[in-house]
Amino acid sequence: MNRKDFLKSSTLFGAAALILPTTSAFAENLADNSIDKLVDANGNYIQQTLPYSETFLEPYMDAETLHLHYTFHHGGAVKGANKDLQMIKKALDENNLETVDFWTKKLSYHFSSHILHSIFWTNLTNKSNLPKGDLLKRIEKSFGSFDRLKVLIAATAKNVDGNGWGIVAYQPYSDSLVVLQCENHEKLTQWGAIPILVIDVWEHAYYLKYKNKRTDFVDALFNIINWDNVALRLNDALKLTL
Ligand SMILES: [Fe+2]
């Protein structure tokens, strides 16, 4: 039984009392290999529905910001990625590669945005919880303690130059958790790293409510991080890279 099946059956039989309500919606959005389903059967990019209502994360993330963010910023990235893909196919069909580097860069930007936003929504919940089990052990091994990770990821996210993300990822090449500071959606990564927790610090993520106070937004976000989802993502990253 894979994670998707387990989550479905455990929810059905009520054995998932400790799993937040969003978990079953999250399970519906997974591909058979338990990673986020971001493409349809034809390879076109698709945006999954939010795993909760737009008011679910109030007051830390307001409904208007969530609506605009999900619909136009994430949604726009999905549309952009599909266009980029078509333009690359067209260039190959016509054997005209003069602009293919432009569209390839665009696709990196848009698809990376799609990936990170898809993870971001599921990383959040309206009930705070804490890391435990294997996730906590891995955090302690890589950073010393959970508090040290919190300090590091918060400082990393707050200090992104311009728009970007703070990211906790599993890095299979070092078999460790790493903190990355991503600019835009695709810069400053490490090859192979699989994001398990992402913090969006683009201005569109917070400006309506927090104005210029990105620091307040990042601090507030720790009230709604779903560490149970982070743990599931770590488990999948480990399975994917075995
Ligand atoms: Fe965003």
Structure tokens at 53: 């209502």
Q: Is 40 annotated as a binding residue?
A: no
- pLDDT for 161 equals 97
Please, are residues 195 and 114 in contact by the beta-carbon 8 Å criterion? no
pLDDT tens across 127-157, in order? 889 999 999 999 999 999 999 999 999 999 9
Q: Is 73 annotated as a binding residue?
A: no
Structure tokens at 70: 């999900």
Lowest pLDDT segment from 10-14, 156-160, 164-168, 219-223: 10-14
**Judging by DSSP bridges, how do beta strands 194-200 and 176-183 pair with one another?**
unpaired
Ordered by start, the domain boundaries in the chain are 133-240
Residue-by-residue DSSP string for 110-131: HHHHHHHHHHHHHTB-SS----
Q: Which residue has the tokens 């052990």?
A: 137
pLDDT tens across 99-119, in order? 999 999 999 999 999 999 999
How many angstroms separate the alpha carbon of residue 146 from the centre of ligand 1? 25
Measured distance CA(205)–CA(62) in Å, rounded:
10
pLDDT tens across 68-92, in order? 999 999 999 999 999 999 999 999 9
- pLDDT for 26 equals 66
Structure tokens at 19: 């799993």
**CATH 3.55.40.20 at 133-240, yes or no:** yes
How many angstroms separate the alpha carbon of residue 69 from the centre of ligand 1? 6
Measured distance CA(2)–CA(34) in Å, rounded:
7
Backbone angles phi, psi at 201, to 5 degrees: -115, 25
pLDDT at 13 over 50: no
Structure tokens at 86: 């078509």
233: confidence class by pLDDT, cuts 50, 70, 90: very high
How many angstroms separate the alpha carbon of residue 137 from the centre of ligand 1? 30
pLDDT at 25 over 80: no
Q: Is 219 annotated as a binding residue?
A: no
E strands, 58-105, in order: none
